[in-house]
Amino acid sequence: MISDAIDLSLIDTLFSRLAAPYAEQIGITRDAYGEGEQRAHELFIETASALGLAVEQDAAGNHFAIYPGEDRDQPAWVVGSHLDSVPQGGNFDGAAGVVAGLIAVAALRERGITPPRDIIVAAFRAEESTWFPASYLGSRSALGKLAAEELALTRADTGRTLAEHLRDCGGDPDAVATGDNWLGQRALHGMLELHIEQGPTLETEKRSVGIVTGIAGSFRYREARCFGEWGHSGAVAKPYRHDALMAFAELAMALEQAWDTLEQDGRRATVTVGQIATPPAQHAFSKIPGEVGFCLDVRSEDPAVLVDLEATLQTTIERLERERGVRFDLGPRTASTPAPMSAALTQRAATLATQLKISHRLMPSGAGHDAATFANAGVPTQMLFVRNQHGSHNPFEAMRIEDFVEGIRVLAALIQE
């Protein structure tokens, strides 16, 4: 049984060493292309080398540990995640997927199992967009998908460019700019990423493992506004009011209703207004709001759902402008494409989890991950979620080692094929 070869003490050592530098601080801060992330990469190199694996560093400073398969010419598996964290985040978001890759390979090695193809355990850089204003910088570089101009992006806290930070970490920005990178030269069989779940579903349903069906795409408006007409709260009768806040409220409820209807049809999405405000310099207790600013974040793993919700947004705005005499300005729009997981891999992972008697469920990922880079590049990709008790991007994120081991068992079974 491969399960018996899973090295619990190595798991404990790795997570303890990853957390150790932050013992006196709130949460974990592994800054992308900075000291925190670099330390984690050095631990990765040390651990992989101790396991007898060859380690490659690419031009973007990503690291890859290679466990040779039976046929070195076969397209390889990539198994991994990222080693950066958000500021004052937790120890598991990202790092769990890298540790899982190392532990799974260590278990195969312990059992003397040579897989049919090479297994490449990957530790990616800079997945979180809190440091540089872009996601998946490391994994996109690894696949030659980073736009050269992104090297000029500056890190939020240091103000220095990605190129400068990359050089500090032994990378080569000029080579990254050409798109020519180590992993891109290899034929890939598939990509697997284990990650803590970042919501409460598995914990609530008492299941250890989530088998991800797709990673949500999104459309977002961060600076939307609705303009009406300021007025005296008592003096303007209903037919003459152009209340920006009430118009916005009706828009928000229309989107929530459209979302409810989608859910009833088994189509999943999330609709979030994370911020809303009337202008503090103008608003007052006894004034009809003449302006309201708001954000809108809509996500779904299904591109058709995003199209439908955006159509609802537009038609509702047109109706409200007509009926209420207000005007909406949605401001700049950003969007990302949903990344479907490989249906064959999803099915295979579910079958293996059932055979291994691991409590699991199929579920979408509302958050973005390095796996999306691979899926969108046409590499068959599968994510596995592990139950986590306190969400993520906070110091309290948690993961029981017994759940982590269940995730690794599925991972180890997949990479033997």
- Pick the closer one to Zn ion by CB: 83 or 326: 83
Residues 6+ apart with CB under 8 A from 347: none
Smallest gap from Cβ 195 to Zn ion, in A, equals 6
Task: Answer left, alpha or beta for residue 8, where phi above 0 means left and psi between -120 and 50 means alpha.
Answer: alpha
**Rounded least distance, CB 292 to Zn ion, Å:** 33
Which residues, other chains included, contact 49 with Cβ-Cβ below 8 Å and sequence gap of 6+?
55
For the CB of residue 127, give the shortest distance to Zn ion in the complex, in Å.
6
| Cβ-proximal residues to 156 (8 Å cutoff; 6+ apart), any chain | 130, 131, 132, 133
Residues that bind Zn ion (CB under 5 A): 93-94
Dihedral angle, C-alpha 399, 143, 54, 3, nearest 10 °? 30
- Which CB, 94 or 407, lies closer to Zn ion? 94
Supply the minimum distance, in Å, between the C-beta of residue 392 and Zn ion.
7
CA 417 from chain center: how many Å?
26
Smallest distance, Å, CB 270 to Zn ion?
18
Least separation in angstroms between CB 76 and Zn ion: 23
What are the backbone dihedrals phi and psi of residue 282, each rounded to the nearest 5 degrees, phi first?
-115, -25
Q: Which is nearer to Zn ion, 128 or 291 (CB)?
A: 128
CB of 322 to Zn ion, least distance (A): 44
